[in-house]
Structure 1
Amino acid sequence: MIPMSLADIATAVEGRLNETADPEAIVTGGIEHDSRKVGPGGLFLAIPGAKVDGHDFAPKAAAEGAAATIASRPIDSPAVYVDDTLRALAALAREVARRSEATVVGVTGSNGKTSTKDLMGQLCASLGPTVATQGNFNNELGHPYTVCRVEPETRYLVLELAARGVGHITDLCEIAPPDIGAVLNVGISHLDGFGDIETTARAKSELPRFLAPEGTAVLNADDPRVAAMAAKTRAQVLTFGVTESADIAAIGLDPGDGRHRFTLRTPDGDAPVQLRLWGGHHVYNALAAAGVAWRLGASPDHIADQLSRAGRQSERRMDVFTLPDGTTVIDDSYNANPASMGAAIRALGQVPTAGRRIAVLGLMADLEELSDQCHRRAGEQAAEAGVDELIAVGDGTEPIIDGADGVAAATHVPDQTAAIELLRNRLRPGDTVLVKGSRYRTWEVADHLRAKEDNDK
């Protein structure tokens, strides 16, 4: 964190110091809400919870060298007292962002945010000291926590902006106003919060709407709802897509073995890219990242070289590994919506395999009345991709089987235990298996296959 005195921190969060806190003490470390991670000179954020109250760990944080705890009730160690510790974290993050000279990059979209943020983070890191959201730590806790990781030498701050309703992205932007904002796509996701796709588009448009006239909106030219956001921003507009009319374009796409290659076209020239990441959806992610890097002054050759080097950084996202018997596993189990499900199934169809293509698909959550339709479409996509065997896991996934006409073997199982047992009996050396679903709904299956990898070694 940018060093600040406890007095300055108390002012920023509209709190007050207790009698044991030294107003002149300088916080030189980061802020943590896990007392085990607090280091000397850091801050501890005490978050009260239903089962665990962070205030109970304040003495441990102080013993580890924390300068103070941000607390909402009295404690027996140096503290900044506030009414609400999460609101105080957001206020502190605003002060850190105000003091920082880093260029702030925000990215949002219905899917691909985390993978694109990881690419942007790697590209920015090649240009200077960079802080980026870890994993998908993009909510009301993770967002300000990431901003508070900024140090005086940080040049770039890359933030993933998530939303489950209108106004959420604006709230995040107000903490650390973006200089560059990228919108990847608008699709069917979180309908429990948005209600419909047009409301989703309105929520995602909050990022380009927020940008100042001197900022840059990086917009997907191939998504009509995103392209329309060009008329809703005061900022300069930079488009990306697979059509030559886009400012940042992928020309001559070659899917290869599922790791795409293309010529990156920019206003400053062209350069060849060979992605290490699996799946055609990463082409758009790479183009969005390229647009940000180009806006920051990187040359086409540098951007292409870094994109060709960039690897996966977040767990359970198109993590492709091979078991000792030659079976290939595509672990894309972190989350799922209709767009990402379709992309993963297409990737399964593109990966070369000596055996069968098997898809283990779990529920796509929060689809409301569109759930049956979207799951049936996933079954149709499996048939179109040439999937040989399909396993639909859990309640609500039965329509996947209904749509899987043309798949040689399509089975619905009640839970992950049954899916694992089915794989034990049917998986053969040389097969390729995709594991995909919302959040935890296929994690046990993926972990079983990863344990098999470790045990066989």
Structure 2
Amino acid sequence: MIALTLDRIADITRSRVGGPARLTDTVTGPVTIDSRQVAPGALFAALSGERVDGHDFAAAAVAAGATAVLASRPVAEPHLIVDGGDAGVVTALGRLARTVVDELTAADVVGVTGSSGKTTTKDLLAQVLGALGPTIAPTGSYNNEIGHPLTVLRADTSTRHIVLEVAARGIGHIAHLCSIAPPRIGVVLNVGSAHVGEFGSRAAIAQAKGELVEALPTAEDGGVAVLNADDDAVIGMAARTRARVVSYGRSEQAQVRARNVELTPLGCARFELWLRGRGTAPVELRLVGEHQVHNALAVAAVAAEAGMGVADIAAALSQAGSVSRWRMEVTERRDGVTVINDAYNANPESMAAALQTLTAVAQQRRAFAVLGHMAELGAVHEAEHERLGQAVAAAGIEGLIVVGEQAEPVAAGAESVSAWRGQALRVPDAAHAVAALRERLRPKDVVMVKGSRVAGLERVAEELISGEDAK
């Protein structure tokens, strides 16, 4: 973070300096809500969590080197106090981030949204743009009203790119995040069924995602909207922005395209990257799954706007690896069993992509899908889970293990396909899923684990990787 005195921060955040703090004391960063991450010169923001109250860790934060505590009630340590409880602290963080990003005129802000693929695309962008200069991006899915400003506040005068994952739980959320850190480039990946239970319809999801392109500067001021040409709801957002539109995808109309896509034996995509007017170059991704092609194309479009040539973009994409955990992590055990851990989250579209990846990796080997439920689908919960089960059967996957009562319709859907020769097993939790797999796995089998975050299925993959080999 850029250096700011406490009196300047108080003015920005509309807070009051208290305790033994001095107005001239300076915060140099980082800004954190975790006292364990405090470093000398930090600002510790005290929030009241479900289990602990950050105010109780004010002394520890200052002892570790924090200049002051941003708090909503008085503490004995040097502090800046705001009104409004936790909401007041979060608002203050947003105001501070906006001031910092406005002062960092040399830094380009890139926002990424979509129903799926945001975190992977953000991670790819950070790695590719990093070749051009210091780049800041959130760790994992730090994409809400707390994580957004905390990410921005990691930037300093050396920063050239700030890559932000932008999520929404309702209409207006993305617009709010864009007011904290206004993007020059906005990427919309897709509009799917994730969170349809909260939004009510895919049209409402598209309305929310489109707030990103509405927040962009005009084309004359450098605004660029990077839109998926293969998703009608996304490319339709071109009418909602005054920014210049750059399209990407596999359709002939896209300005950034992938040609001759094929999968390696490990399930990674290989293709020819084509940029209109800039030439072509070969790409071989290290990420697993054909669905990663679209993510890579979005990154290529942004990188081209940042000034990279097609050969450099292709080389950077080919070198980039997985950063955030539990997203298509592929591990091969000593006995040849391959475990695909994609347990971070799930929605109908990402489940379909994961099944495609499982069959591509398995080839002629036996395949097992360990599936938890997809959260936040609302009224379409049962229908979408049954459809998923039917897709498992259609893919010819031999073993289906359904974890938890909410995922039960997946098993019913698979069993409704009379031609399916596989077996559906219903288990109550991750531990039972591991036990079932250990009874059934043979050397060279392939297991894919996926479900919504609340299902906690990463434990299945971790136990399989660290446990015994197949008999």
Does TM, normalized by the shorter one, top 0.5? yes
Kindly provide the CA deviation profile for residues 330-383 of structure 1, in whole angstroms up to 9, marking residues without a partner as x.
Answer: 000000000001100100000145631110011001111111111111112212
CA distance in 2, matches of 1:125, 1:75: 40
**Secondary structure of the residue that 2:253 maps to in structure 1?**
coil
With structure 1 as the length reference, what TM-score do the two structures score? Answer: 0.97
CA distance in 1, matches of 2:465, 2:447: 12
Aligned to 1:323: 333
Aligned to 2:306: 296
Kindly provide the CA deviation profile for residues 92-128 of structure 1, in whole angstroms up to 9, marking residues without a partner as x.
Answer: 1111111112100000000000000011111111111
Aligned to 1:313: 323
Deviation at 1:186, TM superposition (A): 0.2
Spell out the pairing of 1:37-436 with structure 2 (5 A cutoff): 37-83=37-83, 84-101=88-105, 102-213=107-218, 214-257=222-265, 258-267=267-276, 268-352=278-362, 355-404=365-414, 405=417, 406-436=420-450
Count of residue pairs the alignment pairs up: 455
Which moves more between the two structures, 398-407 or 164-173?
A: 398-407
AA aligned to 1:182 is V
Kindly provide the CA deviation profile for residues 224-269 of structure 1, in whole angstroms up to 9, marking residues without a partner as x.
Answer: 0001001110000000001232000001111232211111010211
Kindly provide the CA deviation profile for residues 5-58 of structure 1, in whole angstroms up to 9, marking residues without a partner as x.
Answer: 111111110011115111112211211111111111111111123431111111
**Secondary structure of the residue that 1:396 maps to in structure 2?**
helix
AA aligned to 1:131 is I
Deviation at 1:61, TM superposition (A): 1.1
Matched, 1:443 2:458: yes
Report if the CA contact (8 A) 2:97-2:181 is conserved: yes
Query: 1:416–1:19: structure 2 CA closer, same or farther, 3 Å change rule?
Result: closer
CA distance in 2, matches of 1:167, 1:407: 47
Kindly provide the CA deviation profile for residues 40-90 of structure 1, in whole angstroms up to 9, marking residues without a partner as x.
Answer: 111111112343111111111111111111011111111111112111111
Provide runs of 4+ in structure 1 moved above 4 Å: none
CA distance in 2, matches of 1:354, 1:239: 37
Report if the CA contact (8 A) 1:359-1:434 is conserved: yes
Query: 1:250–1:366: structure 2 CA closer, same or farther, 3 Å change rule?
Result: same
Aligned residues: CA RMSD: 1.4
**Secondary structure of the residue that 2:51 maps to in structure 1?**
coil
With structure 2 as the length reference, what TM-score do the two structures score? Answer: 0.94
CA distance in 2, matches of 1:389, 1:192: 29
CA distance in 1, matches of 2:392, 2:297: 27
Which runs of 5 or more structure 1 residues have no equivalent in the other structure? none
Identity %: 49
Report if the CA contact (8 A) 1:323-1:452 is conserved: no
CA distance in 1, matches of 2:258, 2:295: 11
